[in-house]
Each structure stands twice: as structure tokens, then as C-alpha cells.
Amino acid sequence: MENHTERRSRPLLLAVAAGFALGFLPGCATNGYQKGDIAAVGMQRAATEVQAESRAIDQTAAYLRDLVSETNGDLRAPFKRYSKSVDRLIAAAQRTDNTGRSMEQKSAAYLQAWNQQAQTIDYQHIRDLSEARRSEVTNRVEAINRRYHENQAAVQPLVSYFMDIRKALSTDLTVPGLESLKGITQNANDNVAKVQTALDSLTAELTNSSARLSSVAYQTAQQNPQPTGQ
């Protein structure tokens, strides 16, 4: 089920993507704002991948809890579910890493184009205003990139933790083997909660920053105030 962030950001992403696909966005191909739109789409795609990574972490943790709590029956089926979820998490983390690098490249290209364009502005006051805005956006982009790297650095040890648990159980898939890992499982759950809180915050920041970079203005509908009594 999609959450509020996904519903809010989807129109922006679709509008910008459609503009590029149909050649709808006006102006020549070298317009700086078009690079801004590309950077905005890159951020929104990064937000989508971070969400997918968070869901993969949640699913892996859930399957691990189910496995460790299993005391009767065939342990192979819940272990296979857990093992496959670990594989999906590894793939999701790799996609998130790749998307982050792509996002950085697109943002850097936009800021470089902005800097080059600002140097051609004749009036000093206008150039100063443009450069001040570029500095503001640069700081925001750098902060996002930094948080992205920090979050991924926190995800990787968690992925390795899940992988090591799988390795241990692959040779000791027994009830006593599961019992021996209950404490480890609780540690994993605690770390999952912390990482997911950080990932949720990063997703919101990426979505907000994407909207601020885009030439497609999008606002959530404002409800009209209810009329007061006559």
C-alpha cells in the first residue's frame, strides 16, 4: 500500500518525466532549468529506492522473527522465505547505492550549469542574487548527499548482519540453533527500527528537495474553509 509521501510525490514525478518524454518542456536543450528538472527526477527516484529498501528491511526482519519463533514443523520453509528476503534486501541496497550516485551526478551537472550561466549575467546585483541562490541550493544538495551516504553506511552493516544469521542457520537449522539466535534477532530488530526512522526522514527530505528543484510547480490541494453560519 502506498503511503502519503508516495501519493503526494507521484504527480510531480510523472509530470516532469512526461515532459521529457514528449518534448513538452519549452526552450532549448541547454536551458539550465531543464538540468534542474533532471536533478529533481533523480532525487525523486532516489526517494522511491530508499522507500523500497526500507520495505525490504522490514520484510526481512519480519521473516526472521517468524523463523526464530517457529518451534514445530518443517523449519526449511520459513528459512527459505527468510533467505529469499535477504537476497531481495541485498538487491534493494545495491539499487539504492546506484541511484544515489546517479542523483549526485545529476545534481552536480545542474549546479555546474547554474554557475556557468550566472557568470554571463551583466548586472552585478542580479548576478549576486543568482549566486546566492545557487549557494543555498548547493548547501542543500550537499546536505542531502551527506545524509544519503550516512544512511547507506548504516544499512550495510544491517544487511551483513542478516547475511551472517543466514549463514549460521544454513548449517544449524534446528530448534536449538534458532534458540541460540534469539538474542541476536532482538538486536537486529532494534537496529531495524533505528535505520527505518532515518530512512523515512531521508525519503521525506528527498521528496521535498525534488519539488524545490523542479520547474513543475505542484502543491497539495487546499481545502476550502467551511462557511460559517449566517
33-48: pLDDT as tens digits: 899 999 999 999 999 9
Residue 17 has pLDDT above 90, yes or no: no
Number of domains in the chain: 1
CA distances, 106 to each of 66, 71, 80, 86 (Å): 41, 51, 39, 30
Quick one: pLDDT at residue 15?
47
Confidence of residue 69 (pLDDT cuts 50, 70, 90): confident
* Residue 198: inside a domain: yes
Averaged pLDDT, 52-80:
92
* Residue 158 belongs to domain spanning: 4-212
Scanning the structure block, which residue is given the C-alpha cell 529498501? 53
Quick one: pLDDT at residue 217?
66
* Residue 163: inside a domain: yes
φ, ψ of residue 220 in degrees (nearest 5) = -70, 145
* Residue 84: inside a domain: yes
For 144-177, what is each residue's pLDDT tens digit? 999 999 999 999 999 999 999 999 999 999 999 9
Q: Side chain identity at 121, as an amino acid letter?
A: I
* Residue 221: inside a domain: no
Q: What percent of the chain has pLDDT over 70?
A: 81
* Residue 24: inside a domain: yes
* Residue 222: inside a domain: no
The continuous run of DSSP H or E covering 213 comes out as helix 182-213
Confidence of residue 186 (pLDDT cuts 50, 70, 90): confident
* Residue 15: inside a domain: yes
Quick one: pLDDT at residue 223?
44
Quick one: pLDDT at residue 46?
97
At residue 76, the 3 state secondary structure works out as: helix
Averaged pLDDT, 91-110:
96
Residue 27 has pLDDT above 90, yes or no: no
Strand runs (DSSP E) across the chain, as ranges? none
Confidence of residue 3 (pLDDT cuts 50, 70, 90): low
Return mean pLDDT, the chain.
85
* Residue 228: inside a domain: no
